[in-house]
Amino acid sequence: MDWRSVAIRLCGGLAVISLVAMMMVTVADVVLRAAFNFPIRGVLEIVELALACTFFLALPASFLRDEHIVVDIVGGRLVPLLRRIAAVIAIVVIAVLAWQGWKSAQDALVFGDVTSDLALPRLYYWIPVLFGLVGSGLAAVAMAVRKRSDT
């Protein structure tokens, strides 16, 4: 098993755990609210955090699997070149997103931002976002520099 398979399984597994947690909390909230008029306090904040984890932890796996949505308009010899150009653009965009996310996470830490209902530190929301963006950037770099025989 190569490093790519390990990273894909790790990111995918963490994303699945987050997705299952989000679904279970939502179902529990709906059942408790309907059956006993007893909603779970802060369910929206928990679901928001789980959603951030689900999306941003799955993002590096998408890059490593090369499973992005693609529309084939051009064929032939240009495809490998266009794939490399797209990878470079993705690296730049992800780097800017990670940089801006880092700045926002620092602000959340410095100002002590918390959520309104459960008083969770907003920094908790930035951890999976930054982890996913940095992982996606590294995955995009790895996919951009891979050998042509790997494509």
For the segment 96-127, what is each residue's pLDDT rounded down to a tens digit?
A: 999 999 999 999 999 999 999 999 999 999 99
Q: What's the pTM value of the predicted model, to 2 decimals?
A: 0.85
Q: 10-62 pLDDT, tens per residue?
A: 999 999 999 999 999 999 999 999 999 999 999 999 999 999 999 999 999 99
Which of 113, 126, 116, 108 is closest to 42 using CA atoms? Answer: 116
Q: What is the distance between the alpha carbons of residues 125 and 123, in angstroms, rounded to a whole number? A: 5
Query: pLDDT band at 80, cuts 50/70/90?
Result: confident
At how many degrees (to 10) do helices 3-36 and 123-145 cross? 150
Confidence bin at 131 (pLDDT 50/70/90) = very high
**Of the candidates 94, 96, 103, 105, the residue with the CA atom closest to the CA atom of residue 132:** 94
The band of 73, judged by pLDDT with boundaries at 50, 70 and 90, is confident
Q: What is the pLDDT of residue 71?
A: 73
Which is nearest to 132 in space by CA: 19, 68, 55, 56?
56
Q: What is the per-residue pLDDT for 147?
A: 63
pLDDT of residue 45: 95
How far lies 21's CA from each of 3, 14, 17, 34, in Å? 27, 11, 6, 20
Which residues 6+ apart lie within 8 Å of 140 measured at CB? 63, 87, 90, 91, 94
DSSP 9: H
Predicted local distance difference test score (pLDDT) of residue 127: 95
b/e for 19-47, b at 16 or more Cβ within 10 A? Answer: bebbeebbeebeeeeeeeeeebebbbbbb
Grade residue 145 by pLDDT with cuts at 50, 70 and 90. Answer: confident
- State which amino acid sits at residue 127: I
Average pLDDT over residues 50-76: 86
